[in-house]
């Protein structure tokens, strides 16, 4: 019996010792992993805390507010404004020119200066653009409400146009974008409104960019037609018959042989006889129109058929509604 008690007592001491070792090991593991968890969270969270810091295309400009940190060094967190000369001043480094650099390039410059000075060994530097000198996107041209609209972070072309109230009826098919970081390289974008090609038109924008929506060519059809209107030219192939069709055709009382084409010339407005009756009967070729052309079809019942003044015709054209064929 005594031998059994000795074996049981030794066994209890052994398991107690193992349990104690496990508790000590668990406590040490918990202490060691806590700082690592915190450091990993900081490293993973820093790039996403500011969407601009991860975009290599964003260039730093004068007036921008930057936040500069050395990861793992809580005391080295600086918020600095870029001066008019494109410079910032940092502890240990002094003056550093950053205007024109991307965020990643600025990080490398700060890291190198800190390492070269012997202040840190292989410092991991994070640079974030907290504010832009220009916080908005200028949307101009053929939009309902031209102006500068706030745009913190990344936005797209269609979002900017939507903020400006959308396109006008005279909006063309192109937009010219001047990017803040490349002012000497304007970008021309062909606008597309169909689901297949619209993503290619909807390019990203950044604060400080300028968007100018082009004006489309418009031709006007007035006089004895179903619906006097202005027709937006989708391309340069628009003809007289197509424009009249969009104006709901001519009325039965129209004097087809007295129609006129009013066209802008270097020396003013020019009246061109338009053989509309022959064009309709395929005895004369259709006439291709130019932007700002006015097709005037008089009524045969008027007292002075075909003698309406040029000024009156132009005035009638300016008051018609604009029609887009889509």
pLDDT of residue 315: 57
pLDDT of residue 54: 42
What mean pLDDT do residues 253-280 have? 90
* Segment among 166-170, 204-208, 278-282, 309-313 with least mean pLDDT: 309-313
- 8 Å CB contact between 243 and 295: yes
Q: How many CB atoms lie within 10 A of CB 99?
A: 18
pLDDT at 31 > cutoff 80: no
- 8 Å CB contact between 47 and 129: no
| Chain centroid to CA 257 | 50
**CA distance readout (Å), 51 to 130, 272, 295:** 10, 59, 54
State pLDDT tens for residues 141-161. 999 999 988 776 678 999 999
- 8 Å CB contact between 108 and 96: no
Percent of the chain with pLDDT over 90: 40
**Burial (CB count <10 Å: 0-12, 13-18, 19+), residue 232:** buried
- 8 Å CB contact between 262 and 271: yes
Tally of CA atoms within 13 A in the half-sphere of 64 that contains its CB: 29
Helices (H) and strands (E) in the chain, counts: 7, 18
Confidence of residue 314 (pLDDT cuts 50, 70, 90): low
Average pLDDT score over the chain: 77
- Single out the residue of 173, 165, 144, 164 nearest to residue 210, CA to CA: 164
**CA distance readout (Å), 245 to 151, 195, 283, 314, 325:** 43, 28, 18, 20, 11
What mean pLDDT do residues 183-192 have? 89
d(CA 324, CA 223): 19
pLDDT at 59 > cutoff 90: no
d(CA 186, CA 151): 19
Burial 142-157 (b: 16+ CB within 10 A, else e): bbeebeebebeeebeb
Structure tokens at 209: 């960019």
pLDDT at 164 > cutoff 70: yes
pLDDT of residue 130: 85
Which range among 11-20, 51-60, 177-186 has the greatest average pLDDT?
Answer: 177-186
pLDDT of residue 110: 95
- Single out the residue of 324, 319, 292, 326 nearest to residue 168, CA to CA: 324
pLDDT of residue 35: 32
Confidence of residue 48 (pLDDT cuts 50, 70, 90): very low
pLDDT of residue 105: 92
Q: What angle do CA 139, 160, 147 make, to 5 degrees?
A: 30
pLDDT at 300 > cutoff 50: yes
d(CA 35, CA 74): 13
- 8 Å CB contact between 220 and 247: no
Confidence of residue 32 (pLDDT cuts 50, 70, 90): very low
What mean pLDDT do residues 201-222 have? 89
pTM: 0.55
pLDDT of residue 17: 43
pLDDT of residue 221: 92
What mean pLDDT do residues 255-284 have? 90
* Segment among 85-94, 185-194, 288-297 with least mean pLDDT: 185-194
Structure tokens at 102: 């991307």
d(CA 281, CA 97): 73
pLDDT of residue 198: 74
pLDDT of residue 49: 37
State pLDDT tens for residues 94-139. 999 998 888 899 999 999 999 999 999 999 999 988 887 766 899 9
pLDDT of residue 70: 94
| Chain centroid to CA 71 | 33
pLDDT at 271 > cutoff 80: yes
150 vs 315: which has the higher pLDDT? 150
């Amino acid at each position: 019996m005594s031998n059994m008690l000795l074996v049981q007592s030794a066994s209890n001491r052994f398991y107690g010792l193992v349990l104690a070792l496990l508790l000590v090991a668990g406590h040490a593991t918990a202490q060691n992993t806590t700082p690592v968890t915190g450091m990993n969270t900081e490293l993973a969270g820093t790039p996403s805390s500011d969407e601009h810091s991860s975009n290599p295309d964003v260039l730093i400009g004068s007036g921008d507010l930057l936040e500069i940190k050395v990861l793992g060094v809580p005391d080295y967190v600086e918020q600095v404004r870029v001066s008019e000369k494109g410079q910032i001043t940092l502890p240990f480094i002094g003056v550093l020119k950053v205007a024109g650099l991307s965020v990643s390039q600025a990080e490398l410059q700060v890291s190198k200066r800190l390492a070269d000075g012997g202040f840190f060994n292989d410092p991991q530097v994070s640079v974030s653009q907290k504010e832009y000198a220009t916080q908005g996107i200028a949307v101009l041209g053929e939009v309902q409400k031209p102006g500068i609209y706030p745009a913190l972070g990344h936005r797209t072309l269609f979002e900017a146009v939507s903020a400006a109230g959308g396109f006008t009826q005279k909006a063309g098919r192109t937009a010219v974008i001047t990017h803040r970081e490349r002012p000497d390289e304007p970008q021309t974008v062909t606008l597309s409104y169909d689901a297949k090609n619209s993503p290619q038109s909807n390019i990203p924008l950044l604060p400080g960019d300028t968007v100018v929506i082009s004006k489309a060519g418009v031709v006007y059809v007035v006089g004895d037609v179903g619906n006097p209107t202005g027709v937006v030219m989708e391309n340069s192939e628009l003809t007289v018959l197509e424009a009249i069709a969009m104006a709901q055709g001519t009325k039965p009382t129209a004097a087809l042989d007295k129609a006129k084409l009013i066209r802008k010339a270097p020396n003013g407005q020019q009246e061109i006889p338009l053989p509309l009756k022959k064009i309709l009967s395929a005895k004369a070729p259709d006439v291709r129109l130019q932007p700002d052309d006015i097709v005037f079809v008089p009524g045969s019942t008027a007292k002075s058929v075909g003698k309406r003044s040029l000024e009156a015709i132009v005035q009638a054209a300016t008051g018609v509604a604009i029609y887009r064929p889509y």
